Amino acid sequence: MRVDFKAAIAAEISKAVSAKNPDAAAQENWAGFLETPPNPEMGDIAFPCFRLAKIFKKSPAQIAQELLGSLENAPLPFLSKAVPAGGYLNFYLDRSAYVEQALKPIAEQKEKYGSSRAGAEKIITIDYSSPNIAKHFHVGHLGTTMIGHALVNILRFLGYTVIGINYLGDWGTQFGKLITAYQKWGDKNEIERTGIDALVELYIRFHQEAEKDKSLEEEARAWLVRMQNGEEEALALWRRFGEISMTEYQRVYQRLGITFESYRGESYYNDKLDSVVQELKEKNLLTESQGAMIVDLSEHQMPPCLILRSDGGSLYPTRDIAAALDRKNTYRFTKSLYVTGMDQCLHFAQWMKVIELMGYDWAKDMVHIPYGMVVFEGGKVSTRNGHVIKMEDLLNEAAAKTLDIIEKKNPGLERKESVAEQVGLGAVIFNQLFNSRMKDVLFSWERILNFEGETGPYVQYTHARACSVLEKARQASLAEADWEPIWDQIVWSVLTDEHSYETIKILERFPDAIAEAADKYEPFLISRYLIALSQAFNKLYHYNPILTASPEEKAGRLALVFCVKTVLAAGLALLGIAAPEKM
C-alpha cells in the first residue's frame, strides 16, 4: 500500500495545532499547505508556519521551532529530521525508508499503480468528439476527441463507471441540402467508391448552385420536412449518408483506440422535444420574443436561451436539454461532462441554467470542459481537400514523417511501419495534451516529432530505452521471461544517490498527478509529469552505470528502471498513446 507522506505529516501537524486551537485545526486542509522546497538541500517537504501566526500569536519562526518540539515523538518513521528555517519547518525524508515505501507499491501494482477506487459506484457520462454526419472528421475535432478520450481513461483508472457518448450531428437542414444535391447531381457509384469525399463535394456544389438559383433552398427545406414527417425515401438516403460517414469515422477511431458506449446523435431526440417544450411551458419559463420562444436569462446576466424558432422549429438548446434529461434518466449519472470548444461556453452556460431553472438539482453535476484551437505554424500542413484538414490525412502524414525519421536513424528496426504509426499518432496526441486545454495548440511537425524535446516521441523513446536496459539484463541472465526484480532482495540504500532519489520522488507523485488531472479535467498534468519523469530518468541513465554496476547497485538500479518503464507505459496509456518497446 502506498504511504502518503504528506498526509501523514499533515495529520501530525493537525494534532499539534489542535492542542492550541481544536476548531482551527479541524477547519484547515493542512496537507494542502505543504510545499516542495525550491532546493533539495532545504529538505523534501516544507510547512509554512505563517498561517499559524494568528492562532499561536507568535512569529512564524517561533512557531516553526515550537512545532518541531511537538513533532519530536510523532510516528513518522520515514523522516530523518525536521529543521526550522525562518517561517518554515522543513522535513527531510529518510532516503532508504522513503525509497522502499515509494517503490514497493509499483512492484505490487505494476501497470495499475496510481489507480484507485475513488470513483467506485459513481457514474460519469462524457460527451466528446461528435463529428457532423456527411462532413469530414477533421482536425477541428482533435481537441474534443483526444481530451475526451484521455479523461475517459483517467476516470476509469480511478474506478468510475464512464459512459462515452458520441453525440453525432446527424439531423438538420444540411441533410435537406445534401439530398437535394444528390437527387440533382449525385452519382451512386461515385459515392460508393469515394465515400464521404463525394458527399462533401455535393454539399459544396449545392451552396455554389444555390447562389445562382434560390429555389434550391426551398427544395432543401422540403426534403427536410419529408425527413421530419418520416417519409421513407428521404430517411433511406439520410441513413445511407450516415453509414458512409461512419465508415470514415470508425477508421479513425480504430487507429486511435477509441470506442464509445453510445452513438446517440441529434436525431435520437426528435420525438422528445415536444415534452421539453411542454415542461418549460408548465413551469412558466417560456416567453415569446419576436415570434420565437425563449427562456429569459437576463437575471443571470446572460442573453435569452432560444428554444423554438418563429416557425416552430427546434434549436440546439432544445436538443441539449432533451439529451441531458434522457442521459440522467438512462444512466443516473453522478457527473455529466461535455468536451467542446471554448466558443460554445455561452451556449452551455445558457441551457444548463435552463435545466437548473426547471428545478433539477442535478444541473450542478453537469460540467462544460472547453478547450482552445489548433493553430498550424506557417500553414505547413497541407491538404488536398480545400480548407479542411482531414483527421485521417493528418494521421497518415504523422506516420509517414515518423517512418522517414526511423529510416534515417534506425533503418534495421523490426516492425518499423507499426512503430512509425504508434510514434506518429502519439506525437499528434501528446502535442494536443501538452498544455492546459484552455490554451491554443501550436502545431509544428518539426517540434512535435522532435525525439529530444518535450514531446510524445521523447517519452516513448525513454520508455523504449528502459525496455532495452531490461532486455539486456534478461539476456545476460539467460532468462526466457521478461526481466523483473526480486523485490525482497533489493538493498534500498543503493538508490539514495542524487539522481536515483530525484527519479523516485517523481515516481511517487504519479497517483497525485492522476488525481489532480481528474479533479481539474486537465490531461496535460499527466503529460507534464511524463516529461519530468523522462528527463529525470535520462539524467540518471547518463550518470549512473546500470548493467556494469556492482551486483547490489545493479539489482537496485534495474528495479528502478523497471518502475520507470512501468509508470511511463501507464501514463502514456492514460493519454491514449502506445508505448513501443523498441524505437
Domains and CATH numbers, the chain: 5-93 (3.30.1360.70), 123-270+320-371 (3.40.50.620), 391-575 (1.10.730.10)
Find the farthest-apart pair of alpha carbons in the chain and give their distance in angstroms, rounded: 88
Note whether 353 and 376 are within 8 A (CB): no
How far, in Å, CA of 123 to CA of 566, rounded? 28
Q: Is the pLDDT of residue 481 over 70?
A: no
pLDDT-derived band at 507 (thresholds 50, 70, 90) equals very high
Once rounded to an integer, what is the mean pLDDT over residues 266-278? Answer: 95
How far, in Å, CA of 389 to CA of 583, rounded? 28
Q: Is the pLDDT of residue 316 over 90?
A: yes
Q: Output the pLDDT for position 380.
A: 44
Which of the two residues, 474 and 457, has the higher pLDDT score? 457
Total Cβ atoms within 10 A of residue 322: 22
Q: Output the pLDDT for position 30.
A: 78
Q: Is the pLDDT of residue 382 over 50?
A: no
| One-letter amino acid for residue 23 of the chain | D
Q: Which residues contact 408 (CB under 8 A, 6 or more apart)?
A: none
Grid cell digits, residue 283: 413551469
Note whether 468 and 582 are within 8 A (CB): yes
CA within 13 Å, CB half, 401: 21
Buried b (16+ CB within 10 A) or exposed e, 360-376: beebeebebbbbbebee
Describe the crossing of helices 173-185 and 196-210 by its angle, rounded to 10 degrees: 90
Could you report the per-residue pLDDT of 338-361, keeping only the tens digit for each? 999 999 999 999 999 999 999 999
3 state SS for 58-120: CCHHHHHHHHHHHCCCCCCCCEEEEEEECCEEEEEECHHHHHHHHHHHHHHHHHHCCCCCCCC
Grid cell digits, residue 507: 515516481
Grid cell digits, residue 206: 449545392
- pTM over 0.85, yes/no: yes
Q: Which residues contact 200 (CB under 8 A, 6 or more apart)?
A: 134, 135, 136, 385, 388
Note whether 580 and 422 are within 8 A (CB): yes
Once rounded to an integer, what is the mean pLDDT over residues 547-568? Answer: 95
pLDDT-derived band at 125 (thresholds 50, 70, 90) equals very high
Quick one: which H or E segment has residue 188? helix 188-194
Nearest to 147 by CA among 359, 424, 394, 441: 441
